[in-house]
Structure 1
């Protein structure tokens, strides 16, 4: 397999990628927020005069609703300006190479954890928080089929097969 494509910077795709990577951690925070809010409501019901009870409710609501958007916005602001120039992604039998004008990242398929396919992209996960986003839009139909077939043929990694989940 040898696929190479120019990928323009897409802020919305970057936002979806960050949201995808942070989703497990943010889900835990939302659940914790819900638990705190319910606990706070129970405390208010037991003693409406206790101001700390209201603080627990507010903290729970903050965790449940505001932390995710704040974290996403902060993560977007922390991205290097280098990525705004777009990149060239090259996929071959051994490597995923993402090359920006001022930086380059290479990942061996041998280190792959899993591949998650969505209608717009493939998330090629090398750990729980490290992923390469392979967009489908710049690929031809033949390249998409070739890459999908390649992912299906990948050998087991660390004693397990890299899952190819569809979302």
Structure 2
């Protein structure tokens, strides 16, 4: 049996389950590295021929996570790894910094008009799962993007295989 995704009545190619790819880059943590790593991620996505609709999600996630490293970690380096396996695109940003004690938790809600402080909320908006954890070297943030959309429906299409129905 062959499975195709149907979106607005037109069959869409299923992202092959066997597809795998990994691209990684480590650079000094500085403001200049943010657009460099954003371009790196876009180049990787195009090389893997990811559908265009994932370009914005990948760009926003990489920009926000790398910016957080540059602004908040005191790390001398930032590492970006992009991994595609089947229907999941995983972005991991690591740094060698240490967590700063905030003292008291933030009590007031974030103001939507403020230019800063929304990085992880933006990442969460594009990712299906986000994980922040302390690691031996510093901090790791992983965001997973599903390479499907909620509007897609899975529609089984039966095709003969070597003269037999599957």
- Structure showing the higher helix proportion among its residues: 1
Which of the five TM-score ranges fits, normalised by the shorter chain?
A: under 0.3
Q: Which has the higher contact order (CA 8 A, sep 6+)?
A: 2
